[in-house]
Structure 1
């Protein structure tokens, strides 16, 4: 749905990615908070984990390795 040149799905996605670090980027927390499927929650959690890793460099000055869906305990 387009509203004043902005797709509402894009706004919702941005909101989820903004709030995901607050709830811990855990798919089990994201799914009920945003009423989404397990698959969508895993996808958003992975993206949020990568964003957090990029914004918080390790003490050695290098960015932390991006997370993958399998590294958070999901198959």
Structure 2
């Protein structure tokens, strides 16, 4: 299996975009969805740490800012 097999069946603008970006629209949509799931899990964990008193309000704010500014 070649590293370019993902291009099979594509044509026109879809093919050009996939060649230039290294992935198809479906690939990028999947990656974005996985990133959203990861961020949501991190957010839930952060809220849990705050609610349990493991981290201070200041540290919570810092981590929250870092989490959502580094999208």
Q: Same fold (TM over 0.5)?
A: no
For the pair shown, the structure with the greater C-alpha radius of gyration is: 2
**TM-score, length of structure 2 as denominator length:** 0.37
Structure (1 or 2) with the greater helix fraction:
2
